[in-house]
Amino acid sequence: MYSTNQAMLYKHHVHDGQPYIFYIDIRSGGKGYEEFVERAQKEDGVIYIRGKVSKLYRDNGKVKVVGVDTIANKTVEIDADLVVLAMAMVPTPGTKALANTLKIQVGENGFLKEAHPKLRPLESITAGYYLAGCAQGPKDIPDVVSQASGTASKVVSLFSGEYLQLEPTIATVDEELCSACRICISVCPYKAREFDEEKGIAIVNEALCESCGSCVAACPSGASSQRNLTDKQISSMATSILKESENKDS
């Protein structure tokens, strides 16, 4: 889309110029975007050529652009004054380090990742950290503004309640079983575990716990568990699922 915008701006300033855009796939998914591309073609005369540029070289003070038009199935040669490469947007170099510090995820392209694309699109997996704008991926200005508004509302709602709502499956420690080995403290990725020197056991900071279950899996004494997600409950769920699938098969 920004290539189209730049081509139109060029045409508005250089009235007798001719902008060309080589493309493989026009990403115009958004309200009014398709019409914007159409307007560029019809009103500003931007010529879109589906295909790749194969060669660029200087020729008589111009830049010769040689490419292929895959729709017309022919070679195209253009004498250009200026050739601009439409660069892809990439994450800021410090994004990965920031994500590691905040314990939030990055997606396969290196941008910060939301907790769930449909159900929690504004939140990271760590409570209290929200996403807005191009930190999450390439976006245009209206999308950034609406996402930032949504994120601001989320933050306001976080502080508007009298109590902080927690996940029902946060970790807990059986004081009788804890052997004070501190393994859970070292494995907790959210720093929700600490050692209570007075009691001589590991405890859970419930406001920080994200119910990931790492401490439960690592605890050698069986002292750690998740509320509402005990071994017995998991076993019952698994048994019930297996029974259901057996009934379907029979």
Binding site for ligand SF4 (CB under 6 A): 171, 173, 178-184, 188, 190, 192-193, 201-202, 204, 209-215, 219, 221, 223-224
Rounded Cα–Cα distance for residues 93 and 146 (Å)? 25
Beta carbon nearer to ligand SF4, 49 or 229: 229
Smallest gap from Cβ 125 to ligand SF4, in A, equals: 11
- Whose tokens are 């508004």? That residue is 149
Burial of 91 from C-beta contacts in 10 A (0-12 / 13-18 / 19+): buried
Q: How far is the CB of 168 from ligand SF4 (least distance, A)?
A: 12
Compute the radius of gyration of the chain from its Cα atoms: 28
DSSP string for 38-77: HHHHHTT-PEEEES-EEEEEEETTEEEEEEEETTTTEEEE
Q: Pick between residue 124 and residue 136 the one whose CB is nearest to ligand SF4.
A: 124
Neighbouring C-beta atoms of residue 100, cutoff 10 Å: 10
Minimal distance in Å, beta carbon 46 to ligand SF4? 53
Report the nearest approach of ligand SF4 to the CB of residue 107 (Å): 22
* Closest approach of ligand SF4 to the CB of residue 69, in Å: 56
- Cβ proximity to ligand SF4: between 16 and 197 the closer is 197
- Nearer residue to ligand SF4 within complex by CB, 37 or 201: 201
Decide: helix, strand or coil at residue 151.
Answer: helix
Amino acid at 180: A
Choose between 131 and 201: whose C-beta lies nearer to ligand SF4. 201
Secondary structure element (H or E) that encloses residue 232, with its range: helix 231-249
